[in-house]
């Protein structure tokens, strides 16, 4: 669930976003993506855990960076929406990630059930556009990449609980993988992965979703959150898109100076 919430936030991020940019995630979409109902108390526990997780990275200049991904999470009462702030120190790296992995489809990653399949799909995505799609990784490094240093100490357990479950990648994504075990004596110490990439049309149009409209009205059209909530209640998604398009044209032509006040007036939410 934490991973899915992270994916949905990453989907909204753009490298050009200012450090103060906030992102909006629909709880209904999170439920639809995971196929399970999420009670408020559980969601609260999930976001608290995410706020407490420390991310570590060795930077190119030798420095060690320790930070968090989320800097804040606000539950917007009555909207079924999370307002998420991203820590400014991590923002540039995720901007790079989204611009570098141009074929990394978040909707595909969201469709995977196993947390290990999600993480391995991320790893495999780094290789799918390379000429050589075969690479080796030590078992210890794979454990570290998956956060499994204290779990599944035996390779047989790792194979059964992680590698076998990650096989769903082969059936629901644009990637397929095989692997070969490399032994030192009788012990498996390394895995050789081979990736097969088959492009698929996996893009999903989210423009009509209320979450996207809410984010646009707050970020681009400068409405207050309560105004955006009332606009969604009072108008259909199609009407909102039409009105916002017209306002955007007028603003671009210089015919509207105060876009927040004008939008609030046109939508009847002053």
Sign of the four-CA dihedral 205, 209, 212, 213: positive
Q: How far apart are CA 196 and CA 199, in angstroms?
A: 10
Q: Return the CATH number at 29.
A: 1.10.10.10
Q: How confident is the model at residue 267 (pLDDT cuts 50, 70, 90)?
A: very high
- Provide the pLDDT for residue 97: 60
Domain co-membership, 50 together with 113 = no
In this prediction the pTM is: 0.58
Tens digits of per-residue pLDDT, 37-58?
A: 788 888 999 999 989 888 887 8
- Provide the pLDDT for residue 48: 92
Domain co-membership, 148 together with 180 = yes
Q: Where are the alpha helices (DSSP H) in the chain?
A: 2-12, 27-34, 40-52, 91-100, 106-111, 115-125, 139-145, 155-158, 169-172, 210-219, 225-234, 237-252, 259-267
Instruction: State the Cα torsion 251-265-232-230 to the nearest 10°.
Output: 140
Q: How far apart are CA 109 and CA 38, in angstroms?
A: 19
Domain co-membership, 138 together with 225 = no
Q: Which helix (H) or strand (E) holds 24?
A: strand 22-26
Domain co-membership, 28 together with 40 = yes
Share of the chain above pLDDT 70, in %: 88
Q: How far apart are CA 65 and CA 68, in angstroms?
A: 10
Structural domain including 12 reads: 1-100
């Amino acid at each position: 669930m934490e991973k899915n919430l992270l994916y949905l936030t990453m989907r909204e991020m753009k490298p050009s976003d200012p450090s103060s940019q906030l992102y909006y995630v629909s709880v209904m979409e999170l439920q639809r993506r995971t196929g399970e109902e999420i009670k408020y108390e559980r969601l609260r526990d999930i976001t608290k855990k995410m706020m407490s997780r420390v991310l570590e990275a060795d930077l190119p200049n030798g420095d060690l960076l320790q930070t968090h991904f989320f800097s804040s999470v606000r539950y917007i009462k009555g909207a079924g929406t999370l307002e998420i702030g991203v820590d400014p120190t991590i923002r540039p790296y995720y901007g790079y990630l989204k611009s570098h992995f141009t074929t990394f489809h978040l909707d595909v990653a969201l469709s995977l059930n196993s947390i290990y399949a999600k993480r391995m799909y991320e790893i495999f995505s780094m290789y799918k556009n390379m000429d050589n799609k075969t690479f080796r990784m030590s078992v210890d490094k794979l454990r570290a990449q998956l956060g499994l240093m204290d779990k599944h100490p035996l390779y047989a357990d790792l194979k059964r609980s992680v590698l076998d479950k990650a096989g769903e990648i082969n059936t629901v994504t644009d990637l397929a993988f095989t692997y070969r075990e490399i032994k030192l004596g009788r012990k498996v110490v390394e895995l050789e992965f081979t990736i097969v990439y088959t492009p698929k049309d996996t893009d999903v149009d989210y423009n009509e979703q209320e979450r996207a409209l809410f984010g646009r009205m707050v970020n681009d059209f400068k409405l207050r959150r309560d105004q955006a909530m009332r606009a969604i209640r009072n108008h259909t998604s199609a009407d909102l898109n039409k009105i916002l398009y017209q306002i955007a044209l007028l603003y671009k032509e210089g015919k509207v100076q105060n876009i927040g006040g004008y939008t609030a007036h046109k939508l009847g939410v002053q």
